[in-house]
């Protein structure tokens, strides 16, 4: 196994990129994620540990945030009295008396989630030390984090000072979420912190221990319990220090700090190497099914593993009450909220590589049906209407207003009111999961209710108008055009939704009659309601231009100004930003795949090949890719249409969105949907993985010319299959 294709490397310290790299090098285990901030801190850094489910709505803010938990990373060193620190201003790096950095390299092993950093540092005294930091978030025991620091005296025999701490004085960009009364504990060889969120009342407990040096506890500031140590290194001597941290919340246990103190003792007794071995073994199990091999394109191979790694560290393992936020657990963007990104982008690849994880994510929605029913009722509808942005409660948490613009004004955000396709997206993910897994228990107990009650919503939402059914005031995937009537994406997906609900009922009647009767009674699925669904399917308005043989994104779309997006190439910002908010909404510039998204989800059911190609050639040049969700979907559809050059361009773009930070916003967190999207583009697009009408697994590869081979695994109805698609002679055995 070539390490090169499994390792993300930062060579040389690049001060200006640190907040970007803090995101890329995030470690996590589906319980918490920790950005790759340095142990010793850095001016301008943004350290954050985010724990699934710990939201809080602070006074004075519009909506809840996923809360930055106390920081467990700090290990501060002095070398002969010189504080070890990397300096952000480039011209200061070489300037004593701070000491200076002679060498720097950081790497993340994607196969094991171990973050490694090596620094050669010269203290003001002239002594030189090699510092080798390592850390991981245990995948075997998700409550445990471990750090190892090797200090090697390369020149001289320096006096070393160590402070290993927990920092409770953290905030979300200045917004305080923790009550100021924290419990800080420092006794014997242990430190601990317990903190409570101000509104939601979640409690987090953290405890740390240090091995390899004798430490003295101290709690001087109230929020930073610290273990201190001092020792002298002889010339060439090496000392290894290990710090173990345990993390629990009141979502898991009744006494988070007590539990953490016990757990960290056990971890420390097990020792670093033994924890690491278990952790690596656990990672190996995930990669055994999730790895996709691309031969012939090392750059994309590494980027693809990077995307898979981030999906795997974000996906909750043992919790049905949390889901993956748009920015995973790697940054504060979108406040940790959950969008359709999960169901249509991140979750589907898990469905056939890690079905248990996909099921957990669907259960998150099942457990939030009450919130969705409340939202439907409050808006005057029946059934379940899921929130566009979701957190722990299941209530709508989309902010109604943007952050202040440069002129101080705020823009009204309509997605929470009008982006109602989210309910169908969830139904789609449930159906997709069931098709691939045949997890009948999930379907009959939980999934069916999700599909059916969201269908009930649509039955009450559509409007009988002009001798047909219409849906007004929607936002489709293209969020540049708000509150439009008859979004073709939404209307067509609603038809799919109602058709699927009826198919599902037929299946339940035959195969699970008890559940069928229960659901018919509890959801009010009367003959009259079902007849109404049939009627909607038959008479839903699907905007289509007969002359041009294309779907119309919404009536009136082509009456707006045409702005050819390719004319703005190359650019580092969206066309929307160039044109301005007000003008761009009056043009045909599309934020992201919309009709193209419909083609990805429904494939041939959308129309003939001719119509699909017409749609592609119409909408591709109008698309801004102002959302990171867009390029992967384009790659997927282009590959299916045989437009392999366009498909590769879009794929390359999508798979590098975070690595190259083209939009300059990766410091806010990874783009979860782009990560999931590229996996789908590869499998559904280039490899043509699909289920035929009879539910049989098929592939139909159309690979870029320079790819020799794509090899991947798929769980299909309980059995694991390995596909090996080769170019130019395609060989597709099912193992």
Query: Contact positions toward ligand BGC, by CB under 6 A?
Result: 326, 334, 339-341, 477, 479, 591-592, 627, 629, 673
Q: What is the DSSP letter of 71?
A: B
Question: In this structure, is the dihedral angle defined by the CA atoms of residues 154, 156, 162 and 167, taken in order, positive or negative?
Answer: negative
479 is catalytic: yes
Contacts of residue 361, Cβ cutoff 8 Å, sequence gap at least 6: 315, 316, 323, 324, 342, 343, 346, 347, 350
Contacts of residue 443, Cβ cutoff 8 Å, sequence gap at least 6: 430, 434, 504
At residue 182, the 3 state secondary structure works out as coil
In whole angstroms, what is the distance from residue 179 CA to residue 195 CA? 7
User: From the CB of residue 46, how many other CB atoms can be counted at a distance below 10 Å?
Assistant: 17
Q: Both tokens of residue 453? A: 């009650």
Q: Is 325 exposed, middle or buried (0-12, 13-18, 19+ CB in 10 A)?
A: buried
Whether the CB-CB separation of 223 and 168 falls below 8 Å is answered with yes
Shorter beta-carbon distance to ligand BGC: residue 8 or 657: 657
Whether the CB-CB separation of 678 and 654 falls below 8 Å is answered with yes
Q: Both tokens of residue 483? A: 């509150």
Whether the CB-CB separation of 630 and 591 falls below 8 Å is answered with yes
H/E element, 482: none
Among 10, 343, 396, 479, which one carries the catalytic annotation?
479
Question: In this structure, is the dihedral angle defined by the CA atoms of residues 653, 342, 204 and 181, taken in order, positive or negative?
Answer: positive
Contacts of residue 80, Cβ cutoff 8 Å, sequence gap at least 6: 123, 124, 125, 127, 156, 158, 159
Q: Both tokens of residue 415? A: 């997605």
User: From the CB of residue 528, how many other CB atoms can be counted at a distance below 10 Å?
Assistant: 8
Contacts of residue 691, Cβ cutoff 8 Å, sequence gap at least 6: 435, 436, 697, 698
In whole angstroms, what is the distance from residue 391 CA to residue 572 CA? 31
Q: 501 to each of 170, 428, 455, 529, 575, how far by Cα in Å?
A: 47, 10, 7, 12, 39
Helices then strands (H, E): number in the chain? 23, 27
Contacts of residue 529, Cβ cutoff 8 Å, sequence gap at least 6: 456, 459
User: From the CB of residue 616, how many other CB atoms can be counted at a distance below 10 Å?
Assistant: 21
My answer on whether omega of the bond before 439 falls inside 30° of 0, hence cis, is: no
Shorter beta-carbon distance to ligand BGC: residue 164 or 338: 338
In whole angstroms, what is the distance from residue 678 CA to residue 481 CA? 25
In whole angstroms, what is the distance from residue 534 CA to residue 297 CA? 48
Q: 326 to each of 196, 717, 722, how far by Cα in Å?
A: 25, 29, 30
Q: What is the DSSP letter of 445?
A: I
> Cα(first)–Cα(last) distance of the chain, in Å?
22
Contacts of residue 514, Cβ cutoff 8 Å, sequence gap at least 6: none
H/E element, 217: strand 216-218
H/E element, 195: strand 190-196
Q: Is 522 exposed, middle or buried (0-12, 13-18, 19+ CB in 10 A)?
A: exposed
Q: Both tokens of residue 624? A: 């801004």
In whole angstroms, what is the distance from residue 45 CA to residue 105 CA? 18
Q: Both tokens of residue 340? A: 């359709």
H/E element, 144: strand 144-155
Minimum CB separation from ligand BGC for residue 592, in Å?
6
Catalytic residue numbers?
479
């Amino acid at each position: 196994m070539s390490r090169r294709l499994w390792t993300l490397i930062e060579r040389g310290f690049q001060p200006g990129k640190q907040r970007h790299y803090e995101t890329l090098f995030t470690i996590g285990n589906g319980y918490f994620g920790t950005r790759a901030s340095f142990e010793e801190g850095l001016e301008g850094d943004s350290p954050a540990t985010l724990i699934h489910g710990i939201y809080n709505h602070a006074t004075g803010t519009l909506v809840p945030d996923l809360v930055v938990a106390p920081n467990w990373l700090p290990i501060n060193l002095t070398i002969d009295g010189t504080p070890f620190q990397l300096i952000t201003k480039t011209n200061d790096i070489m300037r004593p008396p701070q000491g200076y950095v002679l060498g720097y390299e950081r790497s993340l092993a994607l196969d094991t989630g171990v973050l490694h950093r090596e620094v050669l540092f010269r203290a003001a005294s002239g002594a030189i030390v090699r510092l080798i930091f390592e850390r991981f978030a245990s995948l075997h025991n998700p409550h445990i984090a471990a750090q190892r620091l090797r200090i090697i005296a390369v020149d001289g025999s320096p006096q070393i000072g160590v402070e290993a701490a927990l920092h409770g004085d953290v905030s979300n960009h200045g917004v305080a979420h923790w009550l100021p009364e924290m419990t800080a504990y420092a006794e014997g060889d242990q430190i601990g912190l317990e903190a409570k969120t101000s509104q939601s009342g979640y409690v987090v407990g953290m405890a740390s221990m240090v091995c390899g040096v004798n430490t003295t506890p101290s709690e001087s500031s109230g929020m930073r319990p610290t273990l201190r140590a001092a020792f002298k290194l002889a010339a060439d001597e090496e000392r290894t220090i290990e710090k173990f941290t345990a993390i629990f919340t009141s979502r898991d246990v009744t006494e988070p700090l007590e539990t953490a103190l016990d757990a960290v003792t056990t971890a420390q007794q097990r020792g670093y190497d033994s924890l690491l071995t278990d952790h690596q073994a656990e990672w190996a199990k995930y990669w055994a099914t999730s790895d996709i091999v691309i031969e012939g394109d090392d750059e994309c191979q590494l980027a693809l593993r990077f995307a898979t790694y981030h999906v795997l560290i974000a996906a909750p393992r043992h919790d049905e009450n949390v889901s993956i936020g748009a920015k995973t657990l790697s940054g504060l963007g979108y406040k940790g909220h959950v969008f359709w990104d999960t169901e249509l982008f991140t979750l589907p690849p898990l469905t056939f590589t890690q079905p248990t994880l996909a099921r957990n994510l669907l259960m998150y929605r099942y457990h939030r049906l009450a919130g969705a029913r409340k939202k439907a009722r409050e808006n005057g509808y029946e059934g379940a209407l899921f929130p566009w942005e979701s957190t722990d409660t299941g209530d709508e948490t989309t902010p109604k207003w943007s952050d202040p613009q440069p002129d101080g004004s705020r823009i009204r955000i309509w997605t929470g009111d009008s982006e109602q396709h989210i309910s169908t997206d969830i139904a789609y993910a449930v159906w997709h999961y069931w098709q691939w897994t045949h997890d009948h228990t999930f379907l009959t107990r939980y999934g069916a209710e999700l599909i059916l009650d969201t269908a009930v919503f649509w039955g009450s939402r559509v409007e009988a108008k002009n001798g047909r059914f219409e849906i007004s005031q929607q936002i489709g995937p293209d969020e540049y055009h708000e509150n439009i009537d008859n979004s073709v994406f939404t209307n067509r997906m609603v038809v799919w939704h109602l058709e699927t609900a009826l198919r599902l009922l037929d299946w339940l009647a035959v195969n699970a009659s008890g559940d069928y009767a229960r659901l018919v009674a509890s959801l009010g699925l009367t003959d009259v309601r079902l007849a109404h669904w049939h009627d909607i399917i038959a008479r839903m308005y699907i905007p289509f231009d007969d002359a041009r043989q294309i779907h119309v994104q919404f009536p009136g779309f082509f009456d707006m100004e045409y702005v050819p997006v390719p004319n703005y190439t190359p650019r580092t910002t969206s066309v929307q930003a160039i044109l301005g908010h007000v003008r761009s909404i009056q043009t045909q510039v599309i934020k992201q795949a919309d009709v193209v998204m419909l083609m990805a989800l429904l494939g041939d059911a959308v129309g003939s090949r001719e119509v699909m190609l017409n749609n592609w050639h119409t909408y591709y040049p109008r698309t801004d890719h102002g959302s990171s969700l867009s390029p992967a979907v384009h790659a997927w559809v282009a590959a299916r249409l045989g437009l392999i050059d366009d498909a590769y361009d879009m794929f390359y773009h999508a798979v590098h969105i975070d690595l190259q930070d083209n939009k300059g916003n990766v410091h806010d967190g990874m783009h979860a949907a782009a990560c999931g999207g590229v996996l789908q583009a590869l499998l559904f697009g280039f490899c043509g993985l699909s289920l035929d009408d009879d539910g049989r697994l098929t592939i139909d590869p159309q690979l870029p010319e320079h790819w020799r081979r794509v090899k991947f695994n798929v769980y299909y109805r309980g059995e694991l299959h390995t596909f090996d698609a080769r170019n130019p002679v395609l060989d597709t055995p099912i193992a």
